[in-house]
Structure 1
Amino acid sequence: MPPGSPAPRHPWSRRAALGLAAGLAAPALVRAQAFPDRPIRLIVPWPPGGSADAQLRSMAEIAGRRLGQTIVVENRSGASGTLGAQYLATQARPDGYTVTQMHLGIVRRPYLLRTPPWDPATDFTYIIGLTGWLFGVAVKSSSPIRDWAGYLATARARPGTLTYSTSGIATTNHLAMEEIASREKVELVHVPYRASNEGATAVAAGQVDSIADSSAWAPLVEGGQLRLLCVWSAERAARYPDVPTLRELGIDMVVTSPYGLAGPKGMDPGVVRILHDAFKEALFDPANAAVRANFDMPLQYLDSEQYRAFILQRIDYERRMAERLQLRLD
């Protein structure tokens, strides 16, 4: 062949390439078209009966009807709500038949342990962002602290003695109170409990000065045993229209600890889309909206790409807070 002559072309080469590409894409297409053909497992990493359990069970029932398959809710409590993530990272197949609640404690945990159990950036497939919690600070109704200004004044007058309960060390609410204390230049004492309702009961009994947690305090506030000083949502809670937000009190913070759903890494995009669409429909269903309203849970929908972007952004914050506060769980 003379120098500079074009290489010979095979008439079948383009057709073969297209056929090869179609062949590679076909299994994924078939998987998505056939999905789901059996029940799906949704791991809730908390005991039955809580707000997240109720909200996710409602979604599972509604989404299951759309998918034509039962979504079985499996409660796996313990390890600060991370057993679902642990199962995804170590055992679950990326076929779409096992998903779990993804919350910020899972994103945070690798930065609290010497040996990280997973990488939140790469070890999960993010499906949909859903909702969060209403957080706030409450004191015993007979406390001399009447409002948020009084709370800060007491903290300044009694450095290192004003106590607050949370549902555990390195929880979102614990980190938020550390941030508030830093901004307001006050010294507070953290008293962690195993669960939010235990902390609320301790405050009502006078064992702790205050609670900074999700709305496990609500029944005691409505029953008159506790006084709610502030909420951490973007706007005032509909159930507590007279209670100011942190922003209204001069602290530019919104804390709702958003959560969503995730599966194992490597899930087929078509399957992710099917799951996303079913759970989105369930999230916006009036029945699920009623459950969220019952627990004052804000709607915080994010599609799959937006939810992944949110997690990647949050990873940096969680890493910096763990380093700044020198938080360790081992």
Structure 2
Amino acid sequence: MTDSRANFSASRRQFGRQLLSVGALAAALPGAATAATSPFPAKPITVLLPFPPGGSADAMVRAITHVAMAELGQPVVIMHRPGGGGVTGTASLTQNVAPDGHTLALMHNAVLRQPLLQKVGWDPLVDFTYITGLASLSTLITVRADAPWKNLQELLADAKARPGAISYGTVGATSANRIAGEQLARLVGGQFNMVPYKGGAEAITALMGGHLDVYGDPGVGPVALSGKLRVLASFTDQRLQRFPAVPTVKELGYGLSVYSPFGIVGPRGMDAAVVDRLHTVFSQAATDPIYQKVLEDYDFMPYRMDPAAYRQYAQEQFAREKTLLQKLGFKPE
């Protein structure tokens, strides 16, 4: 009897140690405890916006997150982190941010382009989780309604006759629209004085106030329709529905178009189930009439991509940017 009790006690101790070992292993697995106890989202979600309040990107993100909140069941807080040509805010995701899906950021092509222009401590193809593509900007070339240039040809002729005398505003020193403006001027042997702004609202205010000659970025639609601005051309493949009389740069013979999709990304290493949940919610929100109206008001074009397609786009766009910058002579600082 004594031997049986001893054996039973030994077996209980061994079984207890096995349970502790299994528990320790489970706790060590990445996200195991969180996945088991905390449905996503477990707290408010923060979206980092790399531009100041008041611009077209701000309006778009506010609209889609407002719709998405109902499905997520948690507030979505927009945190503005402008600077660095719209790169700093998004890049901050690479600085010890937990990959739990509760901190996201707006991605755009300037972030992909940045490592090709200067040394940074992150890789846009490695250090982000691509969640969903949203919309692409429609870039318009605009001047004040009382400006001397009645069309794009007159503007470019003046840029050639007076190189560097005409100020051309863009959002970010390395934005796609700044590069397109540089290309456009070079095609005619001219030059603009490129002036970077932190956001579209700031640039439009400068244009309206006479402190800027030309604005070559998106988001001017509402002001242009009021008659306060003159739209000379668009960097789109086809004329915009709201501006049917405005020619495209391509149809005027200059062969340039600009597409710069916005999307949502998170830190690297996010759980696939969380990524899928976020993509599904944002995709559903993108069909809402409120969001669709904002896209129309600010001349966005839908550019929806799932996580795999968005990552592939980023890889291909990075290669395109590298080729273009080498052609234009841009070198890393």
* In structure 1, distance between residues paired with 2:176 and 2:71: 33
Specify the alignment match of 2:6 in structure 1. none
CA change 1:276–1:154 in 2 (3 A) is same
Secondary structure of 2:173's aligned partner:
coil
Q: Partner amino acid for 2:271?
A: D
Q: Partner amino acid for 1:272?
A: V
Taking the TM superposition and a 5 Å limit, the aligned residue runs for 1:19-38 are 27=32, 30=35, 34-38=39-43
Tell me the TM-score normalized by structure 2: 0.81
Instruction: Select 1:79's aligned residue among 81, 84, 91.
Output: 84
* In structure 1, distance between residues paired with 2:151 and 2:99: 50
Specify the alignment match of 2:230 in structure 1. 227
Are residues 1:46 and 2:60 paired?
no
List alignment gaps of at least 5 residues for structure 2. 1-24
Deviation string 1:50-103 (CA, Å, 9 cap, x unpaired) is: 221121122112222112222222222233323332331112111111111011
Tell me if the contact between 1:28 and 1:268 (Cα under 8 Å) persists in the aligned partners: no
Between 281-290 and 223-232, report the one with greater CA deviation.
223-232
Specify the alignment match of 2:141 in structure 1. 137
Q: Partner amino acid for 1:111?
A: L
**Aligned-pair distance for 1:207?**
4.5
Secondary structure of 2:106's aligned partner:
strand
* In structure 2, distance between residues paired with 1:193 and 1:29: 42
Are residues 1:306 and 2:304 paired?
no
Q: Partner amino acid for 2:129?
A: T
CA change 1:209–1:85 in 2 (3 A) is closer
CA change 1:82–1:169 in 2 (3 A) is closer
Tell me the TM-score normalized by structure 1: 0.82
* In structure 1, distance between residues paired with 2:144 and 2:51: 27
Taking the TM superposition and a 5 Å limit, the aligned residue runs for 1:291-302 are 291-302=294-305
Tell me if the contact between 1:145 and 1:151 (Cα under 8 Å) persists in the aligned partners: yes
Between 185-194 and 266-275, report the one with greater CA deviation.
185-194
Tell me if the contact between 2:232 and 2:246 (Cα under 8 Å) persists in the aligned partners: yes
Instruction: Select 2:258's aligned residue among 227, 230, 255.
Output: 255
* In structure 1, distance between residues paired with 2:274 and 2:37: 5
Secondary structure of 1:213's aligned partner:
coil
Taking the TM superposition and a 5 Å limit, the aligned residue runs for 1:168-187 are 168-187=172-191
Tell me if the contact between 1:112 and 1:328 (Cα under 8 Å) persists in the aligned partners: yes
Tell me if the contact between 2:82 and 2:198 (Cα under 8 Å) persists in the aligned partners: no
* In structure 1, distance between residues paired with 2:74 and 2:247: 44
CA change 1:87–1:204 in 2 (3 A) is closer
* In structure 2, distance between residues paired with 1:203 and 1:47: 17
Instruction: Select 1:280's aligned residue among 266, 280, 283.
Output: 283
How much is the aligned-residue C-alpha RMSD, in angstroms? 2.9
**Aligned-pair distance for 1:178?**
1.6
* In structure 2, distance between residues paired with 1:236 and 1:250: 14
Specify the alignment match of 2:152 in structure 1. 148
Tell me if the contact between 1:170 and 1:327 (Cα under 8 Å) persists in the aligned partners: no
Between 31-40 and 271-280, report the one with greater CA deviation.
31-40
Tell me if the contact between 2:133 and 2:310 (Cα under 8 Å) persists in the aligned partners: yes
Secondary structure of 2:216's aligned partner:
strand
Taking the TM superposition and a 5 Å limit, the aligned residue runs for 1:85-234 are 85-113=90-118, 115-216=119-220, 218-219=222-223, 221-234=224-237
CA change 1:200–1:75 in 2 (3 A) is closer
Deviation string 1:15-42 (CA, Å, 9 cap, x unpaired) is: xxxxx9xxx8994994699322322222
Deviation string 1:179-234 (CA, Å, 9 cap, x unpaired) is: 22333443333233444344444444554432222234751x33434321001123
**Aligned-pair distance for 1:266?**
1.2
* In structure 1, distance between residues paired with 2:33 and 2:58: 32
Instruction: Select 1:237's aligned residue among 236, 240, 249.
Output: 240
Secondary structure of 1:52's aligned partner:
helix
Between 57-66 and 184-193, report the one with greater CA deviation.
184-193
Tell me if the contact between 1:110 and 1:116 (Cα under 8 Å) persists in the aligned partners: yes
Q: Partner amino acid for 1:271?
A: V
**Which structure: larger Rg?**
2
Secondary structure of 2:232's aligned partner:
strand
CA change 1:148–1:38 in 2 (3 A) is same
CA change 1:48–1:162 in 2 (3 A) is closer
CA change 1:168–1:268 in 2 (3 A) is closer
Identity of aligned residues (%): 35
Tell me if the contact between 1:167 and 1:194 (Cα under 8 Å) persists in the aligned partners: yes
Aligned residues, how many?
A: 307
